[in-house]
Structure 1
Amino acid sequence: MIDHFGINCADWERSKAFYDSVLGVLGYTRQLDYRVAIGYGRDGKPDFWIADMSAGEAAGPNREVHFAFRAADTDAVQAFYDAALAAGAESLHAPRLWPEYHPGYFGAFVRDPDGNNIEAVFHGAPPAG
């Protein structure tokens, strides 16, 4: 069900040190580091993300959380997006490939009624072209 999730951090340096330490003793390490967001996990798969609240989009009054739900295919991602909009969600990003994450990453992002960033993702989409 849950593919990955993330939180925003007010004290970026302190949060990086904290999560490096506490997740490290559990066997999790930095899998991806974008300077303003770090994904922790194992075996090349970041499951938990922290983001710097002072880095633009993450900043805001609600300290949103991000949850990504696994989808069976690209049609399921589209169905999630359509259902979310019909239920009153705000579109953040329409369904598309996100090659900057990894080849085959197909996702759609919406803002739920409480202001959280909710995504549906499928990891096996064919490349564009």
Structure 2
Amino acid sequence: MIDHFGINCADWESSKAFYDTVLGALGYTRQLDYQVASPSREIHVAFQAADVAAVQAFYDAALEVGAESLHAPRLWPEYHPGYYGAFVRDPDGNNVEAVFHGAAHG
């Protein structure tokens, strides 16, 4: 259900050490690191979608209940070929995404 998420931190180095240790104990590793220019309390969470139609349905439903559109559904080849996602801002200002990893690219 959850595809990926972002964790905000005040101290980058100590947070990396913490997550490397606790995730390692579970057999996991950090996959990507993004540093932002300014601190933020917003979170990012991405939910897996079954196909591109589900990404569109997520986006349409979110807008219907008043979410702010951050990015309409599209391919995101800068992430990887086949990455198809849509991003909205929830009522609390969080970045929420639906993503399908098997979209046709061309």
Match of 1:66 among 29, 44, 52: 44
Q: Which runs of 5+ in 2 are unaligned?
A: none
For 2:32 and 2:6, the matched residues in 1 are separated by: 13
Q: 2:78 aligned with 1:97, yes or no?
A: no
Q: How does 1:48-67 map to 2 (within 5 A)?
A: 52=35, 55-56=36-37, 59-60=39-40, 63-67=41-45
Alignment of 1:78-97 (within 5 A): 78-97=56-75
Higher RCO structure (Cα 8 Å, ≥6 apart): 2
Task: Please name the residue that 1:4 is paired with.
Answer: 4
For normalisation by structure 1, the TM-score amounts to 0.75
1:119 aligns with 2:69: no
| 1:21 lines up with 2:1 in the alignment | no
- After TM superposition, the score normalised by the length of structure 2 is 0.89
Displacement of 1:79: 1.4
CA offset digits 1:100-124 (Å, max 9, x no partner) = 2111110000000011111000010
Cα offset, 1:18, TM superposition: 1.0
Structure 1 stretches of 4+ with a deviation exceeding 2 A read 30-33
Mapped to 2, the partners of 1:70 and 1:90 lie a distance apart of 20
Give, as a single letter, the amino acid of the residue that structure 2 aligns with 1:87.
V
Q: Give the number of the structure whose residues are more often strand, by fraction.
A: 1
Aligned length: 106
Matching residue within 52, 55, 58 for 1:77: 55
Q: Is the 8 A contact 2:19 2:30 kept in 1?
A: no
Counterpart of 2:42 in 1: which secondary structure?
coil
Letter in 1 for 2:83: Y
